[in-house]
Each structure stands twice: as structure tokens, then as C-alpha cells.
Structure 1
Amino acid sequence: MRRIVYLLFFISLRAAAQNAPAYPPLVNFTADQDKDNMMKQLGIISLRPGPSGDEKAPNHANYDEALANPYPDYPEILTLKNGKKVTTAEQWWKLRRPEIVEDFEREVYGRIPKDVPKITWEVKITDREFMGFTPVIAKQLVGHADNAAYPLIDVNIAMTLVLPANSKGPVPLLIMFAPSALPAPAQPAKDELQKINDALKDLLLNARPDLKPIFDKYPAYNMIAAQNYGFNPFAPRPAGDLPAAQQLIADGWGYVLIDPASIQADNGAGLTKGIIGLTNKGQPRKPEDWGALRAWAWGASRALDYLATEPMVDIKHVGIEGVSRYGKAALVTMAFDQRFAMGLIASSGEGGTKPHRRNFGEAVENLAGGEYHWMAGNFIKYAASNAGFGNKTANDLPVDAHELIALCAPRPTFISHGIPSQGDANWLDHQGSYMATIAAGSVFKLLGVKDLGFTNDYKTEKMPGVNVSILDGQLAWRQHDGGHTDGPNIKYFIGWADKFIGHTAAGR
């Protein structure tokens, strides 16, 4: 009888193994191997090297404005591919905007697959904390991607939500690309902490009686010291503004911190993992597949999905913020997901608000050679020096940065920069960013809102001085006198956004 049971058991195991789905093995490329694979798919033999950020290098980047515009004519933003002019909002929405979106998806940022796994959000921690003198409710969440189709990859999006605790109604909110962290985790009371320390001491003494002389020598020692993450009104305070998150809470906003690395790694070796790898079942990308910028933007959209379930969030007034590479991601988020009500786009450079056609600082070749993983595979073509299709340059791109900004219209879009002497390097091309913003303004005007208030001639308009605020319209510009951050512009952004969404902070 026992032999029959064992036989049936092994037969069932064999049947289960035969019926189990076969998953393709996960490809583990280095970044160089991954890029080489994409170049072979595209028929590219070699790429032009990007300019160096080291001004002493032989191939240093250009910072001479006289040489900055080898391709002075940007794509016509209000002209259809058939040559007809766009003169109405209806033509923009139905005809021109879809053309621009298609070009960006195919050639620049990549397409989001239709079968991206669903995200299920789990609240891991709910904590009552203080930011300054303001009580807040802070939640740490994890967004689990459904990996049933490919269990070899796990994607768990890390996010923190912080809302003012005493708000009388739903509040506006800003999603920021940043590590997920609670602002001021609540700590045990003094007597509770003492109980924890006493218990730990007893456990150690039971396991290691030889530690008793040490504890006797230091009777007041506690293994867990009291921590103060919160705001101490009696402590010295640095000069300047409060941190961005604290300014938002003080004005009656909420905020979200979403960790881009938990969505998609910031390197080429990670492209067969993360949400891109999960969707591709661990295989290398195809030329039109999405890159990390689009993946991070997709993650922000999934955060917005969750926020729609939070009754204290004014879901119609949720914005997106980012600096540097995350400024690029914030702009891509705004451009492709029209549910986002506003954006603070800071120091985003090449691949963000800097025109590809400008020869100033960072160039297309830098992204194609180094940060190619941010972009669609097809983007690499525009740095090709030797390929089956010949060669291409930035001037061959069908779209440019002004059109990406225009995809945000008519929603409030704030373009922010610092200054080179404080660390917001010339590499970012502030002048080019301003030119793109000027050119994008024609679409804001067409849709019935205000742009920067000047002409849309990007070839002649002069960039405003440092700390000059151009904040009268839904398209805004401000170059502060700080470094590679949007911190000095946060207070201007909040006041500007409040004006357009009709929000008044408590006590104002």
C-alpha cells in the first residue's frame, strides 16, 4: 500500500512539473551589453561621443552662445505634418497633439505596453506625527506589481503620503520623486522606552551573564536612546526657508514621496528588471520600448490612482515635482498624463526642457551614450555616426523640448532653474530651457490661458535676470540664485499654484 502511495505521489509531481508554465530565463546584461544589443537591433555600428563636462578636456562642451544654435529652426509646434496650420483648440487636441505624442513615444521616451501589470497598494504604516507645529497623518505604502505572468521579478513601489491632520476638507497635493521616508516617526514615551530597554537588558544578561560588570559600571546606559525627529521650537534654526515638505504642509497641502528606484533602476543593467523587465518577462527591450523616464512617470501615475481613493486628497489638484533627472521625469509625467493638475519642473536639462538642437552643454550624444536607459532605444539613432541608415543628428528628431512643454498646456507648468556659480551648471543650458518655454507658449495661448507674457519668438526673446519672477500665467519661469535644487522656488511655486487652483491656506 505504501509503495502505491509513493508511486501516485511521484506521478502527481511529474504531472505538475509538466503542466507548470515555462518562464524564459531572466537576461542579466551589463549596461554595455544591453546598449550593444540595442545598437545591433538598430543597425548602428558606432556612436558619436558626447561632449565632456570637463572644460579642460579636448572635447569639452560648448558654452559659447555664438556657436549654440547650429540648428536654429525648431519643429513647427502649430503646423500639422501635412503642412496645414493649427488655429483652433479643437485642431490641437484632435490632430496636432496626437502627432506630437506619437513622435515622442516612438523616437524619444518609448511606449508604455498595454499589458503593464496592475499595482495593488498596501498601507504598511499609519502614523500621527508633527511637521513644525502642524499635526500630520503619515502613511508608508508599498505598491505591489502583479507578477503572476513572470514571478522571477518583483516590483514593489515605495511611497510615503503625508496629509495635514486637521484639514476641514480635501487638500491639494504635490508628488515628489524622492526616497520614501516618514517625516517625523512617532517615538515611545519615556516610560515606554524604559520598559523596552529593561527588557533588552534582561535578555542580554540571560544570554551573556559576563556582561553584568559592564552594565553595573554604566547603570544609566540605555541601548535605545530617545530620538527626536520632530521640530524643536527652542533649537537654533538655519537662516532661509523651511524645507519644501514643511512649506507645503504649512500652506495646507499634502505631499507624496515616491522612490523612482523602486519602480525602475537608474542604469542600463536594470532594464531587464524593474517594471520594464517585468513587462518584458526579463528580456531586453525593443527599440520602441519605454525607458526609465517613462517608467518613473508611469509610477507617478499609479500613485495618482491610489490617491483617488484617499478622501482627504483633492484629486483634481495633484501636481508633480522633480529636479534634474527627476525634473525630466516630472515633465514627462505632466506631458503624458493629463490628470496631473500642475508641475514644478526643475533644472531638467537635456531630455527635459533643454532643446536637443542646442549645442550648449549636455547633448543628445551624452544621453545616447551614457544615460540611454532613460530613453527609448530609438533615441540612440540620433547620435549614430555609422549605421545601416547612415547617420543622424539632433536635427533629425521629429520633436523637441518646446513640444514636450506644450503637451502640458493649458495646465499650470512652472519651469525652475538655479545659477551656475551655485551649482546649477551651464551644462543644463538655462538659455535653451528659456527658449523652449517661450516657444511652448503659443500652445498655452491657443488654449485660452496665459504664457510668459512675451512673444513666442524663441530666437529673439531675452532670458530674464536671476530672481525675476514670471508668474502671471499658467506657464511660469523663475531662475533663483541657488544651486541644483528647486528649494528657493518652492514658496513661489506654492503661491503661484494657490492662485490658479483657488486654494487659501488656513490662517491666511
Structure 2
Amino acid sequence: MLSRRTFATSTLAALFASSRIHAQEPEANYDEARVPAYTLPPILVGADRAAVRTKVAWRSRRAELLDLFGAHMYGRTPPGLPTATISEVDAPVAVLDGRAWRQQWRLEWEGRASVDVLVYRPRHDRQVPVFIGLNYFGNHAVDPDPAIRLSTRWMRTSEANGIVNHRATEASRGTVARRWPIDLVIARDCAVMTAYYGDLAPDDPAVVRQGIAPLADGRQDRIPEAERWGAIGMWAWGLSQMRHAAGRMPGLDAGRSIVIGHSRLGKAALWAGVQDEGFAMVVSNDSGCGGAALSRRIYGETIGGITSSFPHWFCRTLSTYGGRESAMPVDQHQLLALVAPRVLHVASAIDDRWADPRGEFLATQAADEVWRLHGVNGLGVTEMPRVDKPVGAHVRYHIRTGGHDITRYDWEQYLETVTRELR
């Protein structure tokens, strides 16, 4: 574990409260002077070394980069996976003093896997933008409402969040409600769709196959074992399935869907958003290593640390780059560029050094050239902004006060981006 001397007590409390587990990396670098010199692989130069100067040429380059990230980082999504059916739908219930509908339904795949979905939408007939994201401790933890079904799935044990012997208890209700400000989202005429990430892939290598993993059996025989998807790939695929389902439900505008995630689920949101261009906007909140932060900076968490502590998240190939990040054929600025020309919002926190806020900004800034190629106003700045001063247009970035978390302030910025860019 990282030495307790590395972080202030308040920051540690925030990290543990967010269910984050640090990698076994006792000598993580937090000194900018020790960041090694590095050269980022180009975005707008193809495998044939030809410059990419047109939107048509970008489509070919985009396919190259997407393939590289599948082979070297997240694993390849198996072909021919089934589309989810909506197997159960509860009648909508009026909540928030009658301003919103709350609805619970279930997605199911071939009777072999399922995910319970919780939706809040404004109580009118118009279709609205919908935030689609996964949660850490079950839908019942998003709101204390006793009518929300208590998850019975495996969970990481957490006394603070009411998880005992890997199962949720009644004490778990509403424990992460502050991370899901439903009232704010409804007030801005948007909807929220969420599901427990463990429904798709339990977050432990010993039980990760209890989710949707069996759906890939027989469908990835031609994918080399080292390139097969891990939990992040499964969570990302589930997010895309949720988007497809949103298009079949009243009040939700799947054409203005926003995929959102915090921390490891920020990594999943990015991978979902770059694979599924049906998402109109992609939000990365404190996603760090393997998310929005540049791997080559060797600051905070690194490839070696993350693949050692969480071997089930990525494909096995990624672990071969631990300690040799410069040998990777890709880096995260290229991943962010794959969102273009859609809307991207990347967020950091000033005290979240483990996630390398500067590395997240530099990746965002480096990716901006692809929005310029498309003639779209992107980030538009070259210097990291001041704390709590968001910048950008179709590419937005903010760094806020505080540590590793997703806060009401973060949601306010994402909703402002929706208002500016998706209306």
C-alpha cells in the first residue's frame, strides 16, 4: 500500500470512502521534476506514416487507433454478442415532489445474464438528454428510497457503505446519494440511468465471471487470449447496451445520451464512448491511469501498478508494458481523440495526485487537434486552467477543489456542458 505519509488524512478518507483501492506501488512519483522525458505517439499520422488531413482520412486512422487500444489495453469486444431485451418494467412512480418519474427495469441477455436499471426522468412528455453511468454499490445506494430493490449481487465488502460479507444490507441504502444529485439533474431537464457495475462484472478476479462474461464463451475463440476483454471492457459494453435500451423507453433521448463514469468507471465510460459513437457526449471524472491520464508521464499510478493490483480490468497484454510505458504503441491522448467530433468533458481534482490531474489535462489538450480537424471548437487553451474555472467548448476540462470523488460541483459542470453543446 502507499505510505500514509504520502497523503493528508482528509485525502485518505476521501479515497477510501470512494471504494478506491491503491495499487502496490510504494514509490509512486509525485514530483514533476522526476517525470521522465517522453514523446507522445502521433494522433494524425497513420500507420503508413501519412499525415491525416481530412475527415475521411481520420475515419481510417480512427479505426487503426481503436484496434490498437483493443489489442494492447482494454481487450477486444467479442463479436456477435446478443442485444439485451427489456424483460421487466415497473410502473413509473412520481418522486421529488412530483417533479420526476422513477422507474426500475431489467435488461436480460438470453436468460443467462441480467442487469437491474434505475431511471429518473422529468415528469413530462418531452424526450430529454440522459446520463448513463454505472454505480459502485447497487441502485439502492443511489437514493435512500426503500422502494428501490436491494441488490443481491456480490459486492466489495465495505463497512462504510453497508456491505457485509460481500452482500448489501439495508444500511447500504442511500450511502452514495451525494454522488448522484438527482434533484439537480431533473432541475436541468435531464434524466439519469444507472446500474450496479457488478451486475455486469463483479470487481474481483475470483468472481469476475459471475456477470456477463459467459456470454462471450465461444464468441472469442479467434481472439488471442492476451487480447481478450477484461472487466473494463465488460462494463463498457454494458453501458452501450443501456444506451440501446434507452431508445426503447419513453422520455429518454438516446440521441442525446451522455456516458459518464468516475475513477475505474471513468475508464469504462471512455472505452464505451469511443467504441459506441451513438453516445453524444463522453464524461471522464478522475479516471486516471488507463483512463484520461497520460501513461508516459510516470506520475501517480502507473501501468505496472494498476495491472498488478487489478489484473482483471484490462487485457493481459497491458501488463507487459509495466515499467516500459514508452514501448506502448498508444497513449491516452489518442483515446480521448476517438471521441471527436462529439462532446468530451474531462475532469480532475487538485488533491487527487494518484490520478495525475496534469496528465489528464495534457492528454485532453493533445487530443484537441482532432476537433480542430473537424472544424469544431474544442478545448481552445494550451495552459492548465485555474482550479474551479472550467474551460473549453465541445471539449471541456475542469479541475476542482478537493480529492478523488464525483461531486455536485462536477455534475453542475457536466449539466452546463449539456446545455451549451447538446441543446
TM-score for the superposition, normalised by structure 2? 0.82
Residue equivalent to 1:169: 126
After TM superposition, list the pairs within 5 Å mapping 1:395-434 onto structure 2: 395-420=326-351, 425-434=352-361
After TM superposition, list the pairs within 5 Å mapping 1:277-316 onto structure 2: 277-280=214-217, 286-316=225-255
3-state SS of paired residue (1:317): strand
Residue equivalent to 2:68: 103
CA-based RMSD of the aligned residues comes to 2.6
3-state SS of paired residue (1:330): helix
Q: Letter of the aligned partner of 1:174 in structure 2? A: F
TM-score for the superposition, normalised by structure 1? 0.69
Residue equivalent to 1:496: 417
Partner deviation per Cα, 1:387-422 (whole Å, 9 max, x = no partner): xxxxx71111111100110011111111112221xx
Conservation of the 8 A alpha-carbon contact between 1:55 and 1:61: no
Is 1:466 aligned to residue 387 of structure 2? yes
CA distance in 1, matches of 2:395, 2:245: 28
* Ranges in structure 1 where 5+ consecutive residues have no aligned partner: 1-50, 148-153, 188-228, 231-240, 384-391, 455-460, 503-508
Q: Note the C-alpha offset of 1:136.
A: 2.0
Residue equivalent to 1:444: 371
Conservation of the 8 A alpha-carbon contact between 1:129 and 1:186: no
3-state SS of paired residue (2:293): coil
After TM superposition, list the pairs within 5 Å mapping 1:153-168 onto structure 2: 154-165=112-123, 167-168=124-125
Q: 1:180 aligns with which of 139, 143, 146?
A: 139
Q: Note the C-alpha offset of 1:185.
A: 4.8
Q: Note the C-alpha offset of 1:164.
A: 1.2
Residues 314 and 63 of structure 1: CA distance in aligned 2, closer, same or farther (over 3 Å): same
Q: Note the C-alpha offset of 1:89.
A: 1.0
Residues 435 and 130 of structure 1: CA distance in aligned 2, closer, same or farther (over 3 Å): same
CA distance in 2, matches of 1:106, 1:92: 20
Residues 140 and 311 of structure 1: CA distance in aligned 2, closer, same or farther (over 3 Å): closer
CA distance in 2, matches of 1:452, 1:316: 23
3-state SS of paired residue (1:121): strand
Residues 54 and 75 of structure 1: CA distance in aligned 2, closer, same or farther (over 3 Å): farther
Residue equivalent to 1:275: 212
Conservation of the 8 A alpha-carbon contact between 2:25 and 2:305: no
Q: Note the C-alpha offset of 1:172.
A: 1.0
After TM superposition, list the pairs within 5 Å mapping 1:123-142 onto structure 2: 123-131=88-96, 133-142=97-106
* Ranges in structure 2 where 5+ consecutive residues have no aligned partner: 7-23, 148-172
Residue equivalent to 1:198: none
Residues 282 and 170 of structure 1: CA distance in aligned 2, closer, same or farther (over 3 Å): closer
Residue equivalent to 2:54: 88
CA distance in 2, matches of 1:283, 1:87: 35
Conservation of the 8 A alpha-carbon contact between 1:272 and 1:278: no
Is 1:63 aligned to residue 22 of structure 2? no
Residue equivalent to 1:201: none
CA distance in 2, matches of 1:496, 1:335: 19
Identity among equivalent pairs (%)? 27
3-state SS of paired residue (1:316): strand
Residues 90 and 428 of structure 1: CA distance in aligned 2, closer, same or farther (over 3 Å): same
Residue equivalent to 2:280: 341
Partner deviation per Cα, 1:440-495 (whole Å, 9 max, x = no partner): 000111112112113xxxxxx43222111103x10011111133223212112212
CA distance in 2, matches of 1:464, 1:375: 31
CA distance in 2, matches of 1:54, 1:74: 33
Q: 1:327 aligns with which of 266, 277, 281?
A: 266
CA distance in 2, matches of 1:76, 1:120: 41
Q: Note the C-alpha offset of 1:52.
A: 4.2
Partner deviation per Cα, 1:48-93 (whole Å, 9 max, x = no partner): xxx94655799421111011134x1110011111111111111001
Residue equivalent to 2:405: 485
Residue equivalent to 1:476: 396
Question: Larger C-alpha radius of gyration, 1 or 2?
Answer: 1
Residues 303 and 346 of structure 1: CA distance in aligned 2, closer, same or farther (over 3 Å): same
Residues 103 and 186 of structure 1: CA distance in aligned 2, closer, same or farther (over 3 Å): closer
Q: Note the C-alpha offset of 1:277.
A: 3.4
Residues 282 and 332 of structure 1: CA distance in aligned 2, closer, same or farther (over 3 Å): closer
Is 1:257 aligned to residue 194 of structure 2? yes
Residue equivalent to 1:369: 308
Length, aligned pairs only: 372
Residue equivalent to 1:378: 317
Residues 308 and 372 of structure 1: CA distance in aligned 2, closer, same or farther (over 3 Å): same
Residue equivalent to 2:324: 393
Q: Letter of the aligned partner of 2:34 in structure 1? A: L
Residue equivalent to 2:295: 356
Q: Note the C-alpha offset of 1:137.
A: 1.9
Residues 280 and 493 of structure 1: CA distance in aligned 2, closer, same or farther (over 3 Å): same
3-state SS of paired residue (2:371): helix
Conservation of the 8 A alpha-carbon contact between 1:134 and 1:249: no
